[in-house]
Chain A
């Protein structure tokens, strides 16, 4: 009877989702919803961005790349923090799923980082007259991309998944400590980028519709990240747990469908 009670208690705790076997179906259920939210929000955000938001009086139509550029740049930084967070949780709590989550997030963060750089280059050509300048924000974004690549290269190079997880976690945390240092050192070194248009402490220096479009796109990026990370973490779980019975049963069920 007591055993049953314990099981019941454990069953109610959110922590039970730390078990890959329990998280796998949950991620499978949630991912399509987040993907749908991402699609809807992207459509709304781009509509606001391209049709509702007014033309910028200085930069003309070209500024509209902001609706992709800024959310991607935000997301690339958030995702790195998330990765560092899950890495720290994994190292402290010794939970396998945390490491898997960190590894599932890395490619998405790298892609956002790349998108931010790419759209930034396309935006820089008409406004600054050059695709690339060694400006503080561009440079720190580029270095962030290198940090992502280093993390992915390290975790892929180590075959033993336990060592790969932990080594990756350490480099993610070392990177997280360094990101602010890199950011401020580079800023001191050289800056040309327009100041941030959105700040938590000051009134935003842009039209409300522009801000709205950007925020909607940022939410879309969040939803996309969650959906993709869940799908990727499902693949990682299957690969890691392939020797277990439940994965065998799961694969058989998927195969028979």
Chain B
């Protein structure tokens, strides 16, 4: 039974990763967007080093949040259009299981590149090198939460006109705690308080989202397909 569920999880994960690999350009767009948004900030607020250093972690976090948002609609749209989603819903495996697999694949494709690129981009803002580890860790813990919460919004707005803007309105308020603790972790570390509390809260949030979001997402998909 467990191996059956495990293999279903692995099959969906492998399939989604394969699909993403076949259409790599789409994936790179998310990363490019992340980089471009980050590079816009110095033009907007001025290139004064101290100021950039102060806003760096926050900018990286907001950019990661926006990039996640931009790619969310792709999570279920294609499967919805070609009928795969309905077939998946008809399978005997629990929907929350393969939904989690799809979200995991989505995060590996869109979230993980941001986490890897973040320390490099942080150098553009002259963020202290000691803090790069904390920044990367906070993104590694936080971006999966963004993907999990965002998946609920993506499922709810599936196939709607103007779904993208609606998705942003639905999801962004829910992202605020993640943003606070994510960007706050770096500030706390730089301020000498230590980032442990923030990172633990992010980890707790990740576990909570992992436990609850797939079920809400599965319910939303059923409603959308019905």
Contact = CB atoms under 8 A, between A and B. Distances in A.
A163 B177 contact: no
B160 interface: yes
Given A167-B156, A182-B173, 8 more contacts: A149-B169, A157-B161, A163-B226, A167-B223, A170-B156, A171-B156, A175-B174, A182-B176
A146 B169 contact: yes
A189 interface: yes
Interface of A: 143, 146-147, 149-150, 153-154, 157-158, 162-163, 166-167, 170-171, 173-175, 177-178, 181-182, 185-186, 188-189
A77 to B, nearest CB: 15
Contacts of B207: none
Nearest to A164: B223
Interface of B: 149, 152-153, 156-157, 160-163, 166, 169-170, 172-174, 176-177, 180-181, 184, 205, 212, 216, 219-220, 223-224, 226
A188 to B, nearest CB: 7
B180 A154 contact: no
22 contacts: A143-B176, A150-B166, A153-B170, A154-B156, A163-B226, A167-B156, A167-B223, A167-B224, A170-B152, A170-B216, A170-B223, A171-B170, A174-B152, A174-B174, A178-B173, A178-B177, A181-B177, A182-B177, A185-B176, A185-B181, A189-B180, A189-B184
Given A171-B156, A177-B212, A189-B180, A153 B223 contact: no
Contacts, number: 71
Given A158-B160, A167-B223, A177-B212, A188 B169 contact: no
Contacts of B219: 170
- Tell me which of B162, B174, B180 has the highest count of chain A C-beta atoms within 10 A of its own C-beta: B174
Contact of B176 (A167, A170, A186): A186
A154 B226 contact: no
A178 B163 CA distance: 22
